[in-house]
């Protein structure tokens, strides 16, 4: 890569009102033989904001923290696809996408990257490709397989977008062993819940005292998915930026049918 000061001088000349357009960022990356992510890191370090993040309303230092963060999205279907999209749009620098499944017709009602053309394709491959078109500076690591401890070891935060209680409990145990915050989300019909599983919080064991629940074909409204995914992403961003949240010691449950939104605290010592 070229000298840092040369890159900064080039970026500064291309920027307008301390904002750097994507076309100019690409030009800088091509000129100096580096990645778009490296260009944006230099820009943000010197208070030049990529134009596509202008409407976030975040400071350059906060936007830089997002760029330097890695989030693992476990499950790339309804919740996972929505959370991955929102994380890409707000400016997370790297996503680890993990899911062994392919898109099927029953996914069309709620999974944002499922369409007629993507039926039969690996969810991870499709989601990764679509996210690069949203945020070309995004670095993506894809795993078309079940999650493992190794697949999340480099993550700062893990997004629980699973639909199996047993798998969710296993993921929580892995995250606790590796001391990685896990942002939980679950949906059913009009209902949903979200919270942060982070010691000493006992979120997952509180919500799921039984290791297994009889398997049923889930019925899920698309609105519930969009809402819970948004809450999950909000919690992840607050964790990265060091913002407090009531969901660090509890969870939120929603009932869209009755417009109920309740935050529930986990009793101390439980």
Of the candidates 146, 226, 153, 216, the one whose C-alpha atom is nearest the C-alpha of residue 185 is 226
Per-residue model confidence as pLDDT tens digits over 32-67: 999 999 999 999 999 999 999 999 999 999 999 999
Average pLDDT, the chain: 94
More confident residue, 180 or 217: 180
255 burial level (CB within 10 Å; 0-12, 13-18, 19+)? middle
Start-to-end CA span in the chain (Å): 52
Does 253 have pLDDT greater than 70? yes
What pLDDT shows up at residue 210?
A: 75
Alpha helices (H) along 105-159: 123-134, 149-152
What pLDDT shows up at residue 269?
A: 56
Of the candidates 234, 213, 225, 235, the one whose C-alpha atom is nearest the C-alpha of residue 188 is 225
Per-residue model confidence as pLDDT tens digits over 173-194: 999 999 999 999 999 999 999 9
135: Cβ contacts below 8 Å, ≥ 6 apart: 52, 88, 89, 91
CA-CA-CA-CA dihedral for 256, 236, 58, 65, to nearest 10: -170
pTM for this predicted structure = 0.95
Q: How confident is the model at residue 270 (pLDDT cuts 50, 70, 90)?
A: low
Tokens of 262: 């309740």
Domain 69-265 coded CATH 3.40.50.720: yes
Of the candidates 160, 156, 147, the one whose C-alpha atom is nearest the C-alpha of residue 195 is 160
Of the candidates 195, 206, 207, 182, the one whose C-alpha atom is nearest the C-alpha of residue 247 is 195
Tokens of 250: 């509890």
- In DSSP terms, which residues pair with 96 in a beta bridge? 72, 141
């Amino acid at each position: 890569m070229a000298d840092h000061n040369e890159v900064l001088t080039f970026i500064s000349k291309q920027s307008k009102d301390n904002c750097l357009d994507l076309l100019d960022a690409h030009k800088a990356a091509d000129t100096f033989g580096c990645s778009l992510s490296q260009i944006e890191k230099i820009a943000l370090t010197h208070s030049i904001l990529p134009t596509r993040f202008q409407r976030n309303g975040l400071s350059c230092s906060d936007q830089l923290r997002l760029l330097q963060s890695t989030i693992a999205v476990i499950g790339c279907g309804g919740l996972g696809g929505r959370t991955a999209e929102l994380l890409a749009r707000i400016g997370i620098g790297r996503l680890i996408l993990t899911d062994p499944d392919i898109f099927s017709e029953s996914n069309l009602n709620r999974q944002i990257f499922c369409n007629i053309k993507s039926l039969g394709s690996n969810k991870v491959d499709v989601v990764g490709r679509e996210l690069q078109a949203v945020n070309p500076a995004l670095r993506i690591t894809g795993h078309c397989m079940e999650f493992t401890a190794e697949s999340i070891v480099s993550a700062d935060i893990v997004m629980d977008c699973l639909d199996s209680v047993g798998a969710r409990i296993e993921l929580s145990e892995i995250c606790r062993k590796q001391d990685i915050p896990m942002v939980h989300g679950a949906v059913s019909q009009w209902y949903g819940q979200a919270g942060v599983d982070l010691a000493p919080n006992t979120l997952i064991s509180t919500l799921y005292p039984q290791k297994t629940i009889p398997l049923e074909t889930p019925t899920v409204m698309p609105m519930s998915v969009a809402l819970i995914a948004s809450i999950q992403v909000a919690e992840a961003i607050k964790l990265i930026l060091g913002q407090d949240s009531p969901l660090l010691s509890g969870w939120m449950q929603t009932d869209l049918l009755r417009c109920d939104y309740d935050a529930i605290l986990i009793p101390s010592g439980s």
